Amino acid sequence: MARKIEPKDINIVSLAAHLRDETAAWKFMEELRWPDGPICPHCGSIDNSTLINTNGRKTRLGRPTYRREWTCHDCKKQFSVLVGTIYESSKVPLFKWLLAQHMMCSNKNGVAALEIKRTLNVAYKTAWFICHRIRYAMEGGPLHDALLSGVVEADETWVGGVAKAKPGETRSQTRRRTLDNKTAVVTLVERGGQVRSQAFERVTSANLDHMLSTHVDPSATLMTDERREYATLGRTLADHQTVNHRAGEYARNHAHINTAEGYFGQLKRSIDGTHHHVSRRHLNRYLSEFDFRYNTRKMSDGERTITAVRQAKGKRLMYDKVVKD
Ligand SMILES: [Zn+2]
């Protein structure tokens, strides 16, 4: 096997050809995930397994014939390319998964579950779940391991709709409900580099401290607005500069947080324009998706899709977990 797939070959037209039936989709997934031959998920052996030939019969446990199962010569166990991934035990055909993943990787504002439902002809609930599993696969990964360094901008914004006035409610009560609707998003962005975002109910010193110490290298220069909490936290880093927005100051030489504000602009366009509403419960998963697209912005759509598919490993996410989180 091991036919190498070139990222430039991945677009909606070539995918349609690659994914003409379920067997082809399984082979395509193997080529994407195992460019050097099948990897046994039980013992880690590489290219030392044999495809079980089903000769058109149903495989064990009455599994359909398009499933490609392998036997490992080292540990003698059986496996398929879907073991331990977000696609495992899904009833949705693999070609629909791959098309959804490509759509989410090639639209910079993301894709609404309703559009996935229409395009792939699945139930809305299924489309919604597919989107969340794909987002979950975008979380973390090798891109996420490095600390941010150089000049790092930190900023916060609030996401969430404006509450409509209820009959008999005072204006300040409506405003209070609007504030309750909103969730804070803190983002750290390395200029010319990567981004890390997280949602919080409130922005506190403890939250900011945790984010900075988890994601920022101590050698970094921190750029923030004049929010009180940053004053003490900034001292743990090599340098800290602030911009005073209240005094109408937006950039002083290199001291600005325009990169972080640009990121928020894109985030809000996507939430308002594509998703319309994102609940607080699921906001962190949407942020994983936005961070992933930002961190892979220099890649082509094909490279981004391959990266997302490879990150799907070790990421089973059951429906219950999505709903209860
Ligand atoms: Zn094995």
> Tokens representing 22?
């379920």
What backbone phi and psi angles, to 5 degrees, belong to 159?
-115, 140
Q: Which CATH number covers residue 191?
A: 3.30.420
Cα–Cα dist 12/142, whole Å: 26
Please give the average per-residue pLDDT across 141-148, as a whole number. 79
Percent of the chain with pLDDT strictly greater than 70: 88
C-alpha 104/C-alpha 90 separation (Å) is 19
In a domain, 311, yes or no: no
Give 297's contacts (C-beta < 8 A, 6+ positions apart): none
The residue among 41 and 174 whose pLDDT is bigger is 41
- Average pLDDT over every residue of 128-138: 92
Classify the C-alpha dihedral 216-222-223-229 as positive or negative.
positive
Q: What's the gap in Å between 257 CA and the centre of ligand 1? A: 50
Q: What's the domain count of the chain? A: 2
Sequence-distant (6+) residues with CB within 8 A of 6 are: 302
Average pLDDT score, the chain: 86
Q: How far is the CA of 81 from the centre of ligand 1 (A)?
A: 13
Residues in the chain: 325
66 shares its domain with 154? no
Q: In the prediction, which pLDDT does 263 show?
A: 95
Distance 35 CA to ligand 1 centre (A): 17
Q: Of 57, 81, 105, which one is at a domain's C-terminal end?
A: 81
* Per-residue pLDDT at 2: 43
Residues 46 and 168 in one domain: no
Which residue range(s) make up the domain with 75? 1-81
- For residue 185, report the distance from its CA to the centre of ligand 1, in Å: 43
Q: Which residues pair with 317 in a beta bridge?
A: none
Tokens of 10: 């991945």
Lowest mean pLDDT among 120-134, 184-198, 227-241, 295-309: 227-241
Task: Please tell me whether residues 159 and 267 are part of one structural domain.
Answer: yes
What spacing in Å lies between the alpha carbon of 39 and ligand 1's midpoint?
A: 8
DSSP string, 49-116: EEEPP-TTS-BGGGB-TT---EEETTT--EE-TTTTBTTTT-SS-HHHHHHHHHHHHH-TT---HHHH
Cα(3) to centroid of ligand 1, in Å? 22
Whose CA is closest to 52, among 79, 34, 28? Answer: 79
**290 part of a folded domain:** no
Confidence of residue 170 (pLDDT cuts 50, 70, 90): confident
Q: Which residues surround ligand 1, an ion (CB under 5 A)?
A: 40, 42-43, 45, 72, 74-75
Tell me the CB-side half-sphere exposure of residue 214, using CA atoms within 13 A: 15
pLDDT in tens, 38-96: 999 999 999 999 998 665 555 555 566 778 899 999 999 999 999 989 888 788 999 99
